[in-house]
Amino acid sequence: MTDIQETTIWEGDIQQLKGLVSERALAGETMVLNMGPQHPSTHGVLRLMLELDGETIISCVPDVGYLHTGIEKNMESKRYEQSIVMTDRMDYLSPMNNNLVYCLAIEKIAGLDVPERAQVIRVMLAELTRINSHLVWLATHALDIGAMSVFLYCFRERERLLDIFEIVSGQRMMSTYFRPGGIWRDLPAEFFPAVRSFLEDFPRRIEDYERLLTENPIWLDRTQGIGFLSADDAIKLGCSGPVLRGSGVNWDIRKAIPYSGYEQYDFDVPLGVHGDVYDRYLIRMEELRQSLRIIEQALARLPEGPFRSNNRKYVPPPRSELGQSMEAVIHHFKLWTEGFSLPESEVYVRIESPRGELGCFLRSDGGNKPARVHFRTPSFVHLSALPAMAKGYLIADLVGIIGTIDIVLGDCDR
């Protein structure tokens, strides 16, 4: 017969646990349980150290870094243009937003103007990416809580969005479509029918999802009154995006500090009342509709004109000029051999990504490579707020709370 006492002794360093869990855990009164790093509902490789009293969570200590790839360090040894591809890999569910914030930071230092057409295309694609990201969120969030069919419907629609991204950039996920001064190439003709048919279909699809979930008693039971976060706490903990607005704080960066011409679009910012998982669900569903509105307006007002800046110090000349203009050849050669240099300075740019405030701190030391790039990623901040949201709820609710902050671990660990 095996000795049970023998097998349950924990062999780690007890000093590491002190301060993270209560004294009761050290005495063996409560249970310390690892959730993850390989767990289907942690949306990647996230490890949570839970202290449980029965099924109630007393404390929750997130352990991140499993997906740390040193992107910030890596970008320091790449030229400005070369490192755009790395930004895609951070938040792989909304790559265009990552491209956008990095390009905006470069454009801010360089003082580079982006033509109107490029701005409208950027807005349109950023909103399509938002829908794409929210669809994956809804799919996995519902799947975690047990609604299997929503997952399949969401991924069906997401497939159409990925096709649209493939039409514009040649890539389904890692598009690298935005470049400093504009975009990589103009929209191809196939883009417009694809987006129009999506815009026509999608409102009905949102209704389908809502019919499956919004008044579903199981969904209500699992989400209402769970993961409460007060408005004060949300601001203190640095929450942004749907998590902050779920607690009733009206702060959307697209409205407060407009970028890429967002001030010209007419859209509403949905707000929550209760600050629970259900309110955040309602907000993201409404954001899907508002994103559709923005895309419709962008399609209607898409102006003719250049799709990237005319400033040849930062933006390569069009192919057609290379055969005729010596200057174009020189600019092309310079951009492809040494890239462009930015004056010594530091900027911080923030945009509203599907998850919340996505910030980019860029420091240039006058060379052609960034001296320091830092991304303020919403997943990182929201995960640090997870203990405050999870405390006192059941371990089964934790699955819903992780889903509601919509984390992407690539975004968190960078």
Partner 1 sequence: MNPVEALQAEFGDAIQAVEEFRGEITVTVDGARIVDVCQYCRDTEGLQYNFLSDVTGIDYLPQEPRFGVAYHLYSMYQNRSLRLKVLLPGDEPAVSTVTGVYPAANWFEREIFDLFGVTFTNHPDMRRILMPADWDGHPLRKDYPLGYETVQFSFNFDEVDKFKPYAKE
Interface residue list for partner 1 (CB under 8 A): 16, 19-20, 64-65, 68, 70, 72-73, 77, 108-109, 111, 235-238, 249, 251, 256-257, 345-348, 350, 357, 359, 361, 363, 371-372, 374, 376, 380-381, 383-384, 413-414
* Minimum CB distance to partner 1 smaller for 7 or for 15: 15
* Minimum CB distance to partner 1 smaller for 213 or for 249: 249
* Minimum CB distance to partner 1 smaller for 310 or for 345: 345
Among candidate residues 233, 271, 251, the one with its CA nearest the CA of residue 350: 251
Helices within 79-190 (DSSP H only): 84-88, 95-110, 116-145, 148-169
Which whole-number Å values give the CA distances from 106 to 85, 102, 357, in the listed order? 14, 6, 18
* Minimum CB distance to partner 1 smaller for 70 or for 203: 70
Q: Least distance from C-beta 284 to partner 1, angstroms?
A: 21
Question: Which residues, 6 or more positions from 318, have their beta carbon under 8 angstroms from its beta carbon?
Answer: none
Report how far residue 26's alpha carbon sits from residue 13's, in angstroms, rounded to the nearest whole number: 12
Which whole-number Å values give the CA distances from 388 to 105, 136, 250, 379, 409, in the listed order? 32, 25, 21, 15, 19
Q: In what order do the strands lie in the sheet with 47-53?
A: 31-35, 47-53, 56-63
Q: Least distance from C-beta 192 to partner 1, angstroms?
A: 35
* Minimum CB distance to partner 1 smaller for 65 or for 305: 65
Q: Least distance from C-beta 66 to partner 1, angstroms?
A: 9
Q: Least distance from C-beta 87 to partner 1, angstroms?
A: 16
Report how far residue 377's alpha carbon sits from residue 355's, in angstroms, rounded to the nearest whole number: 9
* Minimum CB distance to partner 1 smaller for 90 or for 139: 90
Report how far residue 30's alpha carbon sits from residue 51's, in angstroms, rounded to the nearest whole number: 7
Report how far residue 353's alpha carbon sits from residue 101's, in angstroms, rounded to the nearest whole number: 9
Q: Least distance from C-beta 121 to partner 1, angstroms?
A: 24
Q: Least distance from C-beta 221 to partner 1, angstroms?
A: 31
**3-state SS, residue 178:** strand
Extended beta strands in 168-268, E state? 178-179, 182-183
Q: Least distance from C-beta 60 to partner 1, angstroms?
A: 13
Q: Least distance from C-beta 387 to partner 1, angstroms?
A: 10
* Minimum CB distance to partner 1 smaller for 92 or for 361: 361
Cβ neighbours of 266 (radius 10 Å): 8
Report how far residue 41's alpha carbon sits from residue 412's, in angstroms, rounded to the nearest whole number: 16
* Minimum CB distance to partner 1 smaller for 256 or for 330: 256
Among candidate residues 354, 355, 364, 312, the one with its CA nearest the CA of residue 336: 312
* Minimum CB distance to partner 1 smaller for 117 or for 376: 376
Cβ neighbours of 38 (radius 10 Å): 10
Q: Least distance from C-beta 331 to partner 1, angstroms?
A: 25
Query: Identity (one letter) of the amino acid at 62?
Result: P
